Amino acid sequence: MDQLQDLLAQLRHFVAERDWQQFHDPKNLAMLLASEAGELLAEYRWVRNDAADTLSREPEARQRIADEIGDVGIALMLLCDRTGIDLQTAMRDKLAKNRRRYPVEHSKGRASRPIA
């Protein structure tokens, strides 16, 4: 079993042991994901852009950031598991769309809006 599959099995066990499937419909999991993304955001809200890499390497901040990244990743895996949406396929499909929405000649060096 590969590592992600093993982690998913552990997550399912964690949820089942606590009888939490009842709370984990896709709506609630989308809320979990967004609230965890908000906590990650909070770690960076006062740092300047040019100090954000440095902050990410300071041990205490790095641990908090890794914890929040872990929470976001867990919420995302739970949502994918519940909906049956394959995360890697979703990312590949969206990347293909983004290649079309942000053509290189239109977007190079500019944080541009999509062309459509």
- Least separation, in Å, of the C-beta of 62 and a second copy? 7
Binding a second copy by CB under 8 A: which of 5, 12, 17, 100? 17
Of residues 63 through 102, those in contact with a second copy by CB under 8 A are 65-67, 69-74, 76-77, 79-80, 82-85, 87-95, 97-99, 102
Distance CA 82, CA 32 (A): 13
Distance CA 74, CA 7 (A): 9
Per rule CB under 8 A, is residue 26 in the interface with a second copy?
A: yes
Binding a second copy by CB under 8 A: which of 12, 81, 101, 107? 107
Helix (H, G, I), strand (E, B) or coil at 24: coil
Q: How many residues bind a second copy (CB under 8 A)?
A: 77
Per rule CB under 8 A, is residue 34 in the interface with a second copy?
A: yes
Cβ proximity to a second copy: between 35 and 116 the closer is 35
Binding a second copy by CB under 8 A: which of 9, 52, 58, 100? 52
3-state SS, one letter per residue, for 37-101 = HHHHHHHCCCCCHHHHHHHHHCHHHHHHHHHHHHHHHHHHHHHHHHHCCCHHHHHHHHHHHHHHH
